[in-house]
Structure 1
Amino acid sequence: MKKFLLLFLLLIPSMFAAAQQFSQYNTGTLFDSFENPSQRSFIRDSSYNMASNFLIPNFGGYAFLTGNAQRSVQTRLFDERYDNSQLKVGEGKLNHVIGNTGVYLLMFKWYAGMQGDKEMGISFKTKGEANGTITDESIALFNGSANFQNQAYNQILNSKGYYQTYHQIGFSYREKLSKRAAFGFKVNFLMGLQYQEILINNSSIAFDKAADRAELALDGLYYASENAGRFKASTFAPNFRNPGASVSIGGSYKNEGGYIWQGNVKDLGFIHWSGKSNTYRVLGSTTLTDLSRPWREDTVRNQLSNLLKSGYMSTGSFITPTDGVAEASVAKKYFFNYDRTFGLMPTLIVQKQLFYPGITGALVNHLQYNNLTITATASYNDLRLFNFGGQFMYKSPNFEFYLGSERLLPTGRMVLQRFGNNSAYTGADVFLGFSLKFGRPVESPLNASYIPMGEEKGFFGRFFDKIFGKRKGGGEL
């Protein structure tokens, strides 16, 4: 990922770029139950009472770039050269880069009680988030002065963006409130790893091609956490230097018509970066040299990095939000045979980022036959990007495996290194997961060796009844 966002990628070596998979909605997998807290992962009289991924990583990630710079990034990434033919130098056109990744290193959940079908779980996850806009000219500059026809330019290098990585230790709880409703939450302790942010408000550059150099001036801010930009094994060791917290809350309700309504607020939280973090007031200039030499990319990167760190620096802590989202969905399952072994479940989802611009709509269709499920996912976001994805999943009551991508076409082009000049965006997306259930069978009261007396509701279920009253009838959620 080092070369993906050429201001971050070349100024800030390596960037994590994985998010909630829409394709996992209403699948009942262990991953689904951690990401959508009101979803169950155990089935009475079918499942064992414990589930885990056994330290086999369950991961998902995507990164994509829109704008004129796609061809430049593609050729630099795979051909070790810049094809800047699509850049519009002098117009300040913006390219958007977005990345999100998540890797569940540990997921463990257990069936905690029949009263309310309670489920509890613990997890360890590593996350990365990135978002930014970068001008055509900022990317062209890494190839020297070849694409700049004029002698002087103003405000063409005004770019901004951030990335952060952190560990997440979570505890989850899910309870059935009634036959129709369920509620769940996941609380997380966060351990920040790295954070960097660049905000360039004003810029100017003047070329002296005869001397093979340029004078660059920037006005902006640069934030860097302790050890930012340093990548070695110890960088990713759990630590308490940058603590934080986040929460995910979800609820679901199945109405009389069989429609399942679900709402979630996910990863709403913050990270407190340590007092050894740095904030730079960038206000100065530097000379870029050797702009026609083979090592021009390294020269530009090093000089820009020095300029960002040359201004006034204050050392101290700061707080950043996590990339929280709010989601709402509706789904209904249709069966094509009497045995209910062949069915289709369409789900409509709307997702809104809470702290950053971004809204996405998705339509997910699960086609299930016995233990096999094929999923087709279509989504559209406010960047006017249409995505189509697919998933293959084998899921029995005690075993599950899935593999897929929610951006099949750009991912395929990335893998094959074949790029079209007219693509809406360049990117890649992949997710994979596995889990296994073990322990004792989860038995319903009629089959169990011990039969609990009284209502099968937990604390939240009894509280729910006090507010809304007891309800009768309806299918189970």
Structure 2
Amino acid sequence: MRTNFKHTPVFCGILLLFLSSKVSAQQFSLYGTRTLWDSFENPAQSPFELNESRQFASNFFVPNSGVNLQFNGPAQVALKNILLYTNGLSVSNLDVDAPRFNKVNASENSYLLMLRLFKTVDYRRELGFSWQTRAESHGKLHNQALIVFKTANEQGINGIDRYLNRTGPNQLRGTDLQAQAYHQIGFTFREQYNQNFSYGIKLSYLSGIAHNSIKVRSGELDNDPASPGYRTFTVGGVLRSSYYDDIAWDDLRPNFRNPGMSLTLSSNLKLRDGWNVMTNLKDVGFIRWSADSYRNGADLNINTLDDAEDQLDKIQASLVRERYTSVINGKAEALISKEFGAFKPSALLSKSLFNNSGDIVLMNSFRYKVLQIGASGAYNLNDYFQFGGQLMLKSPNVEFFIGTDNLFQSYKTKVLLTDDPDQRLERVNEGIKGAAAYLGFSLKFGRIVSDPQNENYIPGINHRVPGTGFLNKIFGKRD
């Protein structure tokens, strides 16, 4: 089975990949919760409690997933017409001269399998294995880019005519978008170095699924007076893609066709008066896309009167095969927190290393027995706010959580998507900018991990008492 993009206008197709990809889901409120998810995202964290937790922890292939989509800019209504209706790309309300960019920041992070082992009581060493799928999209897009690629007549005004008649500067060169999806197979190690300091390492193999990027450095439109209606649009920049015009099922499985590596370093420090400081250098890595990948070999010359399929054919004809490397969305993070009985406030700073995205987050959680309720407020450097909520049931050996980092926008999006088409059309201008949600479960099993004073398990003695093995019980001598 293949997904074919042949009959989609190339620019809109790329843009939709950015917006509809399962794209870095933050799940801020899970930081510092000592859940199994927390221990893999922040390897210095431990999900185990001495004398209460069992030795192994896993999600048993129940996905622990999160997705976060945020779009900020004047083209919200135009893009919602693509995503929710059959109206196509409507740009009638966009100002071709407005010096404003549309910013995209979306992410998805799903742990398909997590398995963690409490290895030794001394230094509380832990080993872990995880398999997750991730997708991330980020970048900015100017109104002019949307208007130029709108070639169908709309209320008698062609998008190219609007672009020609602009009075503001040419800002197409500011368009810079990237989207990629990949598998991440990780191995973690954690050690409690002393009573106040622990550290963790996560080394991952990356298997690329798909990548698209476009970076425009120039855009010129030639209106030939000798040929009325004939216009040639020349775009200078770099277009890269890991596939030509379709994606096969083989691309969705982990493989060695598009290999990569990433590294996470994490530390947790206990200060005086009960304060805790966690720091991360997270997911610093790259993917090397195969020699079957593509990039444009020269500037693109497009006859703007051609239909969308002809435009796509010309763009594809200009592509050359080339191996290239992309970086993943690495971050530097710092979290400070303190428990005041059942109440725990936290503050998080998270900054992407290779793009302008970053978050400043304040979180609060309240615990009553196995029930934990959390709330968070986050400001992103792309100039938008998010307010989240979380509900968690957590005991030493069982945990379940559900939440969102964008409570109000997620609710509005849910209402919009569940309305009938007529009602959705009436509500399309309500300013929906994004959505976020996450869900997870894990369970511990095995023997209880105990500190040395309470340890009643002695390897070589308790592990295998003569006559108690399974085969011995079946075939052993009877009295």
Q: Report the TM-score, using the length of structure 1 for normalisation.
A: 0.83
Pair 1:152-2:169 in alignment:
no
Residues 1:38 and 1:280: Cα distance change in structure 2 (over 3 Å): same
| 1:132 shift after superposition | 1.9
**Which residue number in structure 1 is paired with residue 77 of structure 2?**
71
Q: Give the distance between the partners of 1:228 and 1:53, measured in 2 at CA.
A: 36
Q: Give the distance between the partners of 2:218 and 2:397, measured in 1 at CA.
A: 58
Does the CA-based 8 Å contact 1:375-1:392 persist in structure 2? yes
**Which residue number in structure 2 is paired with residue 230 of structure 1?**
246
Q: Whose helix fraction is larger, Structure 1's or Structure 2's?
A: 2
Does the CA-based 8 Å contact 2:391-2:401 persist in structure 1? yes
| 1:204 shift after superposition | 3.0
Q: Give the distance between the partners of 2:370 and 2:16, measured in 1 at CA.
A: 46
Q: Deviations over 1:134-183 (max 9, x none)?
A: 12133233362435454726835442211111111110111111111111
Does the CA-based 8 Å contact 1:404-1:431 persist in structure 2? yes
Q: Look up the equivalent residue of 1:17 and give its one-letter code.
A: V
Does the CA-based 8 Å contact 1:7-1:138 persist in structure 2? no
| 1:315 shift after superposition | 2.8
Pair 1:331-2:337 in alignment:
yes
Query: Out of 200, 214, 221, which is 2:216 matched to?
Result: 200
Matches within 5 A, 1:17-166: 17-81=23-87, 82-91=89-98, 93-140=100-147, 141-142=149-150, 144-146=152-154, 148=159, 150=162, 152=164, 155=170, 157-158=172-173, 159-166=175-182
Q: Deviations over 1:279-325 (max 9, x none)?
A: 213413222347xxxxxxxx43x3443343333x4433222111100
Does the CA-based 8 Å contact 2:19-2:104 persist in structure 1? no
| 1:368 shift after superposition | 0.9
Q: Look up the equivalent residue of 2:366 and give its one-letter code.
A: L
Q: Secondary structure at the match of 1:89?
A: coil
Q: Give the distance between the partners of 1:389 and 1:261, measured in 2 at CA.
A: 22
**Which residue number in structure 1 is paired with residue 346 of structure 2?**
347
**Which residue number in structure 2 is paired with residue 258 of structure 1?**
274
Does the CA-based 8 Å contact 1:95-1:133 persist in structure 2? yes
Residues 1:150 and 1:30: Cα distance change in structure 2 (over 3 Å): closer
| 1:83 shift after superposition | 4.8
**Which residue number in structure 1 is paired with residue 205 of structure 2?**
189
| 1:358 shift after superposition | 2.0
Does the CA-based 8 Å contact 1:103-1:125 persist in structure 2? yes
Residues 1:11 and 1:394: Cα distance change in structure 2 (over 3 Å): closer
Query: Out of 195, 210, 215, which is 1:179 matched to?
Result: 195
**Which residue number in structure 2 is paired with residue 369 of structure 1?**
368
Q: Give the distance between the partners of 1:257 and 1:85, measured in 2 at CA.
A: 59
**Which residue number in structure 1 is paired with residue 384 of structure 2?**
385
How many residue pairs get aligned? The number is 431
**Which residue number in structure 2 is paired with residue 305 of structure 1?**
312
| 1:202 shift after superposition | 1.4
Does the CA-based 8 Å contact 1:445-1:451 persist in structure 2? no
Q: Once superposed, what is the RMSD of the aligned Cα atoms?
A: 2.7
| 1:186 shift after superposition | 0.6
Q: Give the distance between the partners of 1:309 and 1:65, measured in 2 at CA.
A: 28
Q: Give the distance between the partners of 1:211 and 1:108, measured in 2 at CA.
A: 66
Q: Give the distance between the partners of 2:372 and 2:146, measured in 1 at CA.
A: 43
**Which residue number in structure 1 is paired with residue 237 of structure 2?**
220
**Which residue number in structure 2 is paired with residue 269 of structure 1?**
285
Q: What stretches of structure 1 of length at least 5 have no aligned partner?
A: 291-298, 336-342, 453-477
Does the CA-based 8 Å contact 1:362-1:377 persist in structure 2? yes
Residues 1:451 and 1:386: Cα distance change in structure 2 (over 3 Å): same
**Which residue number in structure 1 is paired with residue 395 of structure 2?**
396
Does the CA-based 8 Å contact 1:91-1:156 persist in structure 2? no
Q: Give the distance between the partners of 2:163 and 2:185, measured in 1 at CA.
A: 53
Matches within 5 A, 1:434-445: 434-445=441-452
Does the CA-based 8 Å contact 2:394-2:400 persist in structure 1? yes
**Which residue number in structure 2 is paired with residue 465 of structure 1?**
none
**Which residue number in structure 1 is paired with residue 359 of structure 2?**
360
Q: Give the distance between the partners of 1:379 and 1:62, measured in 2 at CA.
A: 13
Does the CA-based 8 Å contact 1:275-1:317 persist in structure 2? yes
Query: Out of 11, 14, 17, which is 1:8 matched to?
Result: 14
| 1:85 shift after superposition | 4.6
Does the CA-based 8 Å contact 2:17-2:179 persist in structure 1? no
**Which residue number in structure 1 is paired with residue 476 of structure 2?**
none
Q: Secondary structure at the match of 2:150?
A: helix
Residues 1:400 and 1:11: Cα distance change in structure 2 (over 3 Å): closer
| 1:25 shift after superposition | 1.0
Does the CA-based 8 Å contact 2:244-2:294 persist in structure 1? no
Q: Give the distance between the partners of 2:401 and 2:252, measured in 1 at CA.
A: 27
Q: Give the distance between the partners of 1:286 and 1:175, measured in 2 at CA.
A: 58
Does the CA-based 8 Å contact 1:344-1:365 persist in structure 2? yes
Q: Look up the equivalent residue of 1:264 and give its one-letter code.
A: N
Q: Give the distance between the partners of 2:195 and 2:281, measured in 1 at CA.
A: 23
Residues 1:303 and 1:403: Cα distance change in structure 2 (over 3 Å): farther
Q: Look up the equivalent residue of 1:319 and give its one-letter code.
A: T
**Which residue number in structure 1 is paired with residue 477 of structure 2?**
none
| 1:11 shift after superposition | 7.9
